[in-house]
Structure formats: structure tokens, C-alpha cells
Amino acid sequence: MGLPIFALMFALIFHTVITTYNTLSSVFYFESVIVLTFGIYFILYLIYSGFDSKITDDVSKVFTRTYLYKYLKKELARNKDYTLILISVDNLNDINNRYGIKSGDRVLYEVGLWISNYLNKNNISNFPIGHVKGGDFILGLKGKSSDYETLFDLMHLKTSEFKIDEIEVNILGAINDTSFSNDLDYLIENLFEIKEFNKHKQEEIKYFKENIEPNELERYVINAIKSQSFIIMKQNVYNKKSGVAIQECSTKLKGSDGKYIHQKSYIKALNKLRLMDDFDYMVLKKITDFCTDECETIFALNISPTSIRNYNFLSKVKNLLENNSHIKDKIMFILSEKEYYSYTQKYADTIKNIRNIGIKICIDKFGSYNSSFLYFRDFKVDAIRIDSIYTKEIFNENYLKILNGFCTMANQSDTKIWMKMIENKDMLEKIEKLEVDYIQGKYLSDLELIYEN
């Protein structure tokens, strides 16, 4: 567009100079230079803007994330019912490492092409599809998710043995719609939540909806933190020899309408709002009120690893223990995270410092999260809590052999073993034959309310 306009300007000026050369004033030449200068600047600006507002991804040849998001926001504003579908190449990193980055790029291109062709064959056309990150594609369709559930199921079946030049491609998916939220960011975050849920559960779900709108949930969380409105429940954890050894505490936030917000709902909001440190300290401070001189049990609570790696949080915890010496050795932090923290030595020093001031450390999800095993290898901790899948599969000989191995490792490193989710007598009898130190579950103790604000 810029070049034709510039050409017309140049032609007009050139024609004027040729036909009226003798009568032109010096002002005309000055104005012509200014006009041509602005014309050149305009062309360069258009060229730069063209690079800046890229539409298609170089690798997959579908929309870029930036352009897709702009497009989808317009679609959400125009359509009351709108569906988003996430298609994810789950093993893209393995493909890149094993076959090379070029092969990974080819997989992305072929998957994007396959999605488009599959929908076109099912008489669905003119839909936006974009590559948002890694191996993740998102596409938008007008209408409710229920209109596309059968198509989504068939699509998922087609990808069960998906290969590109003998490269195995593991594809996961998720679907939701505007009945969850009209906010694009919330919809996309929910898609990834569904994908992760399906990845780690045997029974797949297609749609997951919170009871509270995401933006309303964030407002509830902020108000609950400000007003310190929450409840604490505790469940006894038994030592096989001495009775109650630990009281595990769990927390629910309380909304302004009096409804309780479960941990599964508010944890993500806390992380997003950068309020996890405040929440962890708020709960810890209240639990320390129960650590009296007469109390002989340990109070255990889940603490985010990001909190204990935060200097400000650690400083407040240290001051809290210095001002309340009776708390020492009566608090246990339960830690778990899916991804292994790479700054191992720094993290190990932090764990050591926490234990030195009188707080015990327990690694959770042992046997499930790879990071838990690595932390057990790298750190000195007080206890490891076995993932509940091993309790549920306690009568499976393969799981039992692995459990015996865990017990041997823990005993040799002077670390306590903790098993939870014991729900009946048969489970209890089976677990009592193992070298397990702490046992917990509904069969042994119910949840009990110990604090409400």
C-alpha cells in the first residue's frame, strides 16, 4: 500500500516540476522535500509494522500466539457460545532430543496440518488455529463444547497411534467453552489444567469446571487473605508404637459469602496473585498458637517450596521461632513440587537452615513425583510421605516390593516413613507388616475442626 502512494506522490511532484518549471517558487522545492521525506518514513514504518505484527508461525504455519489471542478475544466478544480445544504434542521434548530439532519442527507442522485436514473432512472450516507454545495448539470453534464432544472423542482415538515417519507422537487434548468463563486467559489456563489432569488420571475427563468464576475466585482469595478468613482442620497421624505423633493440618479459605474455598481451587489463584508467601505465613502463625508447652505432638502443614526459597518468608519464620522458643521441634513442613529445582546446593542449604532453627521437613508424593526422589537423594530430611497410590495398591505385589525398597532406603538414611489414606482394616493390617513409622487415614482418625475465623 505504501509504495503506490509514494509512487503517485513522486510522479505528481515530477510532473509539476517538468510542466511548470519556470514559474515554481523555492517554497515548492522545500515542501516537496518534506513530503518525500515523510513518504519514505511512512513506507519504512509500514515495513517495520509488518515485521512486528507477524501472523503465521514460521515452523507450524498456523497463527502465532499473539495473533491468535487477538483473534479469539474478538470471537469471544461476538459469540455468546464459543469453544476452545487444546491439542498438545506431549512428547515434543523427547522428539527434539532423540531425533533432532528439525524433526520436532516437522512434527509440529504435520500435526497442525493434520488438525486442519481432520476438521475440514468433518465439514468444519474457517476456524482459527494457533501454535501457543512448545507442542501446544489451540483452535476456536463457534458453539458449545457439547456440540463438539463426539468429534473431540473421535479425534482423540485417531491420535492413539499417531506416527510421522516412524516417530511416535503422543497427543493429549482438552476442551472447554464460555460456560466456564468469557475471559480468554482463564479459558486457556483451564485447558492446560484439564490436560494435566487427564495425563495423570486413568479415567479421562473432557471438561472441568470450577464452582466459582475464576475472576470471582481471585477476589474471594484476596479478601480472605486480607481479613484472614479461613478454617484449619487436623487429622491425627499415628506412630505404631507411641500413638498420636503428628497432627496434619489442612486449610480452607472462607469467602465473603460464608462459603469455603477448597485448597484445589485456591492454590492456583494464590500463585497467580503472588500471595502464596502471605498465605503460608498466615496459616503457620495461627498453627503455632496450638504449640503449647504441654503439647507433645508435631503439627504438620503443607508449605509451598517457593515460600521457603523466599528470603522474606524465611526471615519471618525465623523471627517467629526466636520469639516463641516452645515452638521448636513441634512444626513440620510438608513439601512437594513436580519440577526439580535446579539450584540444588542453594536449596539444600535452605533446608538445612530450616531444620537448624527447629522445623522438621517431610517430602511428600514420594514414589510419584520424580523430584521427591531426587530431593531425598540430595537433602537430609526428617520424613518422606509415600504417595497415596501405594496405599490404594497395597495388595498389588509389584507395589508392595517397591514399598519394601522405600522402607529400606529410608531406614538406612535414618528417615521416617509415612503412609496415608488408610481406609479399612485390611489396609492397616497389610501396612503394619511393613517398616513404616507413621500411619494416617479415615479408618484411624476423622478430620477435626480446630480453628475458624
pTM of this prediction? 0.73
- Measure the CA–CA gap between 388 and 368, rounded to whole angstroms: 9
Same fold, 65-200 and 220-452: no
Residue 261: how many CB atoms within 10 A of its CB?
A: 22
- Measure the CA–CA gap between 169 and 188, rounded to whole angstroms: 23
Q: Tell me: the pLDDT tens digits for 414-446?
A: 999 999 999 999 999 999 999 999 999 999 999
Residue 85, SS3?
A: strand
Q: Tell me: the pLDDT tens digits for 237-252?
A: 999 778 899 999 999 9
Given this model, what pLDDT does residue 166 score? 84
- Cα separation values, 292 from 152, 219, 374, 382, 396, Å: 57, 35, 35, 22, 42
Given this model, what pLDDT does residue 220 score? 84
143: left (phi over 0), alpha (psi -120 to 50) or beta: left
Q: Tell me: the pLDDT tens digits for 151-180?
A: 888 888 887 778 888 889 999 999 999 988
Which stretches of the chain drop beneath a pLDDT of 70? Answer: 1-33, 35-36, 38-39, 41-53, 200-212
Write down the CATH superfamily of domain 220-452.
EAL domain (3.20.20.450)
**CATH code of the domain occupying 65-200:** 3.30.70.270
Task: Decide if 95 contacts 169 (C-beta within 8 A).
Answer: yes
Task: Decide if 144 contacts 179 (C-beta within 8 A).
Answer: yes
Domain ranges of the chain: 2-52, 65-200, 220-452
Closest CA to 269 of 287, 285, 258, 255: 255
Given this model, what pLDDT does residue 96 score? 92
Task: Decide if 161 contacts 176 (C-beta within 8 A).
Answer: no
